[in-house]
Amino acid sequence: MSELKGANFIERPINKSEVFIPEEFTEEQLMIKEMVIDFCEKEIQEPITKRGRELYATNEEDLKEIVKLLEKSAELGLCGVAIDEKLGGMNLDFNTGLIFSEAIAAGFSFATTIGAQTSIGSLPIVYYGTDAQKEKYLPGVASGAIKAAYALTEPSAGSDANSGKSKATLSPDGKNYILNGQKMWITNGGFADIFIVFAKIDDDKNLSAFIVEKAFGGVTLGAEEKKLGIKGSSTVQVFFNDCNVPVENLLSERGKGFKIALNILNSGRIKLAAGTTGGSKFAITKSIKYALEREQFGKAIANFGAIKHKLAEMATKTFTTDSAVYRTGRNIDLKTEEFIKAGISSSEAKLKALREFAIECAILKVKGSDNSDYCVDEALQIHGGMGYSVETGIEMGYRDARITRIYEGTNEINRLLSVAELGKRAVISKELNLKKAGKKIPGQLIKKMLPFGKENDFEIIENMKSIFLLLLDATGRKYKAELEHEQEIVLNLSNLLAETFVAESAFLRVQKLKDKQDFDKEKLAVMKAMVKINIYNALAIVRNSSKEIIDTYATGFEKRKMFYLIKLLTKKYDINPTILRRKIADYVIKNKEYCF
Ligand SMILES: Cc1cc2nc3c(=O)[nH]c(=O)nc-3n(C[C@H](O)[C@H](O)[C@H](O)COP(=O)(O)OP(=O)(O)OC[C@H]3O[C@@H](n4cnc5c(N)ncnc54)[C@H](O)[C@@H]3O)c2cc1C
């Protein structure tokens, strides 16, 4: 097997040749993006403007519209992005699937609807289905004739998804599972024909997964939820009362449901991250346009430093997350190819590749959703009172974005998970060799003690990795297996991990672009500025999170020693943030859009 390994960025410096950058997308991939955005503009954005309001799933007529939209999108092939061509799909590679997720964000809450159809509602069949199950359901999902939903959450089982009470028992004749239970927050539930339902067979410890057709009977729906945002997306409770599910509709094996749920979430998380970057780019472009139009004190507000600061920060956070999303997406594709070459089936290979990059997927889910919330909030602020009005659509974006920090695993759960998974790979499975990685730290420290030497971005990023390793090691030694219960520490560690990964991704993107002779020099300079601003911001987070960790676990000499080490490793980063932010803002303002 190759060097391509999940979370290996924390073990060693990564070379620019090892990462994919968005500038490497092909014409064909970019055409898919354009086609999806075009669909969203014509079928979703323009009708919203005409109607003067978004669609409400709570309104019966609107719900029919939402179903029609899904069918229209299927006519363009959009419901079959992950489905095999021979079953009527497009079978896009994973990274192109991420472009699709980014582009469909232009459809606002429809992104959630089509996301449930193409991702959580049908991927369990794509990845785990038997040939017969695939042939029976996937052509319908791709054509839009079958609408799909994913039913994991229950009233008493949210983050703790494996604790669900739904039960399946084998019928006396052994032909059916009799399913009983209550599911909650089910996207597309109001019109779905099939549900991927997770339930425990008899008194099993772990969930099993089933493909349940509404037509089986015994399926009833609650009323559409009245939600803060994504109002154009159907969300209901689903009740199963003695629903007869044929035994052949068990997905994979008995007791494997939780594993399926987790693996599907890995894919959902990075797709969500791609979607949030799409939403963020949209919010930035809208903000730039407004800032150029709106005049106060005799000039366009785009001229004010306060507004430039916001635009630069929004662009930087989005650029850096974007870099990390597609870097990971391509790695998932490469790992899949590697597994296939090793003789593993295509579905299994995709799953194993996703599992390999589960840490990155969790980090990106958090970074992407935090960023889109940040961007819509700042977009609203840039619009002033108009942002608060329904008229501009910004308030809808503000409400819609908020869900992304909750579903596909809350951000707290994903942050905890990223560190816990890394710990497992270092201590239990030994896939990562963090001890070896830590050996470079004394050398870095000595270098830092010397009075000369210019700080560079590469070194700073490597130092951030060392800080994470030092603090993981120190807290691991102190708390051992109990570390997972010290959530405040783990959450701070997750900040260090996430900042490092994203900072490195953006840095490597720019390093790679430097080699492209024909790449626009002005744009490259702005990208470099974004890398620096991002590191500048990341260092503030690193310093703060490290301080919290040290103040919590250490006392006396250990405390003084650790503070000294962190200070050395984050000693100086001498930039002028205002000049750099203005440079970034001036560039996007000149281009009148997010243009990276
Ligand atoms: C609009 C919408 C659509 C959805 N669509 C679907 C769908 O299609 N299918 C589906 O199955 N589900 C769906 N969900 C459910 C969603 O995945 C859950 O809401 C989410 O996983 C959180 O579960 P919960 O709401 O029960 O929150 P809880 O688990 O009760 O969490 C409440 C708070 O406690 C924190 N918390 C919980 N456990 C821990 C812990 N161990 N450590 C630290 N903090 C913790 C959480 O981070 C959160 O802040 C949807 C939800 C919404 C709102």
Can you read off the two tokens belonging to residue 514?
């430097």
Mutate to test the pocket of ligand 1, among 120, 159, 370 (most ligand atoms within 8 A of CB): 159
201, containing H or E segment: strand 194-201
What separation in angstroms does the CA of 273 have from each of 87, 130, 149, 407, 411? 28, 30, 20, 12, 12
Long-range contacts of 70-76 (CB under 8 A, 24+ apart): 70/113, 70/114, 70/117, 70/144, 70/147, 71/144, 72/39, 72/43, 72/144, 73/39, 73/43, 73/110, 73/114, 73/144, 74/142, 74/143, 74/144, 74/145, 75/144, 76/35, 76/39
- Single out the residue of 116, 381, 50, 476 nearest to residue 268, CA to CA: 116
Task: Please identify which of the residues 154, 224, 313, 408 carries the catalytic annotation.
Answer: 408
Kindly report the pTM of this predicted structure: 0.97
Give the pLDDT confidence score for residue 486 in this predicted structure. 98
Across the range 248-277, mean pLDDT stands at 96
Across the range 456-468, mean pLDDT stands at 95
Across the range 541-547, mean pLDDT stands at 98
Across the range 255-274, mean pLDDT stands at 95
Across the range 566-585, mean pLDDT stands at 94
Mean pLDDT of the chain: 96
CATH number at residue 435: 1.20.140.10
Domain presence at residue 240: yes
- Which of 209, 238, 255 lies at the terminal end of a domain, its last residue? 255
Across the range 453-476, mean pLDDT stands at 91
Give the pLDDT confidence score for residue 3 in this predicted structure. 83
- Whether the pLDDT of residue 120 is over 70: the answer is yes
Confidence of residue 577 (pLDDT cuts 50, 70, 90): very high
- Whether the pLDDT of residue 570 is over 70: the answer is yes
- Whether the pLDDT of residue 554 is over 60: the answer is yes
Domain presence at residue 559: yes
- Whether the pLDDT of residue 561 is over 70: the answer is yes
Domain presence at residue 42: no
CA of residue 356 relative to chain centroid, distance: 16
Across the range 478-503, mean pLDDT stands at 97
Percent of the chain surpassing pLDDT 90: 95
Q: Which ligand 1 atom lies nearest to the CA of residue 151?
A: 11
What separation in angstroms does the CA of 224 have from each of 186, 380, 403, 444? 10, 28, 16, 57
- Which of 217, 235, 255 lies at the terminal end of a domain, its last residue? 255
Across the range 313-322, mean pLDDT stands at 98
- Whether the pLDDT of residue 493 is over 90: the answer is yes
Establish whether 293 is a catalytic residue.
Answer: no
Q: Which ligand 1 atom lies nearest to the CA of residue 149?
A: 8
Q: Which domain holds residue 206?
A: 148-255
Across the range 111-125, mean pLDDT stands at 97
Domain count, the chain: 2
Domain presence at residue 164: yes
Across the range 492-498, mean pLDDT stands at 98
- Which of 201, 230, 255 lies at the terminal end of a domain, its last residue? 255
Across the range 128-150, mean pLDDT stands at 98
Domain presence at residue 467: yes
Across the range 193-199, mean pLDDT stands at 98
CATH number at residue 250: 2.40.110.10
**In angstroms, rounded to a whole number, what is the distance separating the alpha carbons of residues 95 and 305?**
37
288 contacts 315 by C-beta, under 8 angstroms: no
Across the range 532-538, mean pLDDT stands at 98
227 lines ligand 1 (CB under 6 A): yes
Q: From ligand 1's centre to the CA of 408, what distance in Å?
A: 8
- Whether the pLDDT of residue 453 is over 70: the answer is no
Give the pLDDT confidence score for residue 455 in this predicted structure. 65
Domain presence at residue 339: no
